[in-house]
């Protein structure tokens, strides 16, 4: 942990307009609700006005519109959440790995491991694998033959990277993630499934973050590609041959992207959404939570397909009718027919 910073030091490093309290010492970030006098919180909008009034935080980050809504020492920023993230990075820098290969790790003699890299106890690094400067392989993680791990990339414990996959620089992979397993490629023949060996790889760009227990399958023939800056939450599944565009964030959790889907840049995907196979989503598409995307999307925008919940009795009553919508529409059509005839008669 670095020492505390004054509010003035923070503002001089990160910018923003400082109002009062340049000398206030800040040790850590905090929430409006629970922060103490040595913590800095952030105020995102009207919903939290009561919390802002009651907070015991030493300072807050506020948007311009709220610059005068508190007398606390404050920093005014156009993007308070991003500013708050940067303050937190300042106060909580990612630790540098202590260099070295643990005695209880297994590193193949043909692997090339940078002197500044770290391989923890129980980890296994395969033949011909490469670990860049300050690469960090967590306890028990598995790096397959021929895998390449870029500089400053961290694998938390229990990560599996299958053979020949490539991770860029500054990638973070959380525990339990599996990169490069065979995709679900099977050909049916005579009521049996014939496995398609997967000869493609997984290629992961710089600055990607991969959540706990997320799985990314290798390509069947060509590669599965995750471009730079993509953020994947926990328990996401990316099928074989997918391409996820730069800075896209399938967020929340449990999102599934089936095989051979292509997702554009700067997209977001809400929790538990599913994107079916062989579809293309253009740039700047936002998929809401709980939505199944079953056709390609060629126009930026927000798309939703979440079934509305209700108390169980109302749901049962309304939902039974979903199964009879076609009949209902026909009944309405039948009612319209005489009305149309009457209109015709009147007009004719």
| Per CB under 8 A, 316 contacts a second copy | yes
The window from 3-11, 17-25, 28-36, 64-72 that contacts a second copy (CB under 8 A) reads 28-36
Between residues 110 and 315, which has the closer beta carbon with respect to a second copy? Answer: 315
Q: Are 236 and 244 in contact (CB under 8 A)?
A: no
| Per CB under 8 A, 196 contacts a second copy | yes
| Per CB under 8 A, 136 contacts a second copy | no
Least CB distance to a second copy at residue 71 (A): 22
Site residues for a second copy, 226-255, by CB under 8 A, read: 229, 231, 233-235, 237, 239, 247, 249, 251-254
Write the DSSP symbol of residue 185.
-
CA distances in angstroms from 326 to 98, 322, 332, 340, listed in the order given = 66, 9, 10, 21
| Per CB under 8 A, 192 contacts a second copy | yes
Between residues 22 and 85, which has the closer beta carbon with respect to a second copy? Answer: 85
Using CB under 8 A, pick the residue from 112, 222, 298, 341 that binds a second copy.
222
Residue carrying the six token digits 């995750």:
226
Site residues for a second copy, 169-188, by CB under 8 A, read: 172, 174-176, 178, 181-182, 184-188
Using CB under 8 A, pick the residue from 5, 11, 29, 171 that binds a second copy.
29
3 state SS of 231:
strand
Please confirm, yes or no, whether 240 is among the known catalytic residues: yes
| Per CB under 8 A, 43 contacts a second copy | no
How many C-beta atoms lie closer than 10 Å to residue 102's C-beta? 15
Site residues for a second copy, 257-276, by CB under 8 A, read: 258-259, 266, 271-272, 274, 276
The window from 48-56, 62-70, 80-88, 146-154 that contacts a second copy (CB under 8 A) reads 80-88
| Per CB under 8 A, 122 contacts a second copy | yes
| Per CB under 8 A, 341 contacts a second copy | no
> How many Å apart are CA 267 and CA 61, to the nearest integer?
27
Between residues 19 and 41, which has the closer beta carbon with respect to a second copy? Answer: 41
How many C-beta atoms lie closer than 10 Å to residue 167's C-beta? 27
Using CB under 8 A, pick the residue from 191, 344, 345, 347 that binds a second copy.
191
Write the DSSP symbol of residue 4.
P
Using CB under 8 A, pick the residue from 309, 345, 347, 348 that binds a second copy.
309
Degrees, nearest 5: CA angle 117-119-125: 105
> How many Å apart are CA 322 and CA 329, to the nearest integer?
11
> How many Å apart are CA 275 and CA 238, to the nearest integer?
10
- Pick from 89, 65, 72: nearest CA to 7: 72
| Per CB under 8 A, 197 contacts a second copy | yes
Phi/psi of residue 137, each to 5°? -105, 115
The torsion angle over the Cα atoms of residues 269, 271, 276 and 282, rounded to 10 degrees, is 0
The catalytic residue among 174, 198, 240, 253 is: 240
Q: Are 132 and 117 in contact (CB under 8 A)?
A: yes
Instruction: Please identify every residue annotated as catalytic.
Output: 240
């Amino acid at each position: 942990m670095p020492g505390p910073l004054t509010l003035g030091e923070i503002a001089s490093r990160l910018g923003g307009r400082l109002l009062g309290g340049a000398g206030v010492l800040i040790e850590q970030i905090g929430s409006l609700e629970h922060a103490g006098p040595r913590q800095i919180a952030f105020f995102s909008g009207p919903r939290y006005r009561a919390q802002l009034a009651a907070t015991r935080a030493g300072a807050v980050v506020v948007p311009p519109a709220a610059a005068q809504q508190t007398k606390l020492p404050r920093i005014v920023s156009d993007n308070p959440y991003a500013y708050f993230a940067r303050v937190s990075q300042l106060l909580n820098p990612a630790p540098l790995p202590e260099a070295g290969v643990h005695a209880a790790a297994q590193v193949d003699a043909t692997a090339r491991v940078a002197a500044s890299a770290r391989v923890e106890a129980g980890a296994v690094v395969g033949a011909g694998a490469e670990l860049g400067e300050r690469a960090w392989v967590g306890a028990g993680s598995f790096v397959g033959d021929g895998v390449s791990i870029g500089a400053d990339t961290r694998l938390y414990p229990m990560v599996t990277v299958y053979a020949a996959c490539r991770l860029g620089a500054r990638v973070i992979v959380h525990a339990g993630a599996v990169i490069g397993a065979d995709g679900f490629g099977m050909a049916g023949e005579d009521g049996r499934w014939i496995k398609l060996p997967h000869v493609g790889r997984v290629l992961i760009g710089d600055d990607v973050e991969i959540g706990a227990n997320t799985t990314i399958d290798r390509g069947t023939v060509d590669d599965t590609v995750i471009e730079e800056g993509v953020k994947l939450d926990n328990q996401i599944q990316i099928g074989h041959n997918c391409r996820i565009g730069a800075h896209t964030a399938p967020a929340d959790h449990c999102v599934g992207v089936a095989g051979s889907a292509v997702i554009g840049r700067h997209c977001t995907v809400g929790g538990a959404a599913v994107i079916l196979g062989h579809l293309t989503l253009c740039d700047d598409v936002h998929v809401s939570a709980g939505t199944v995307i079953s056709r390609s999307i060629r126009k930026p925008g927000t798309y939703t397909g979440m079934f509305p919940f209700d108390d169980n009795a109302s749901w049962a009553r309304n939902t039974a009718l979903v199964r009879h919508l076609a009949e209902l529409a026909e009944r309405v059509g039948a009612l319209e027919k005489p009305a149309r005839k009457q209109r015709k008669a009147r007009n004719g």
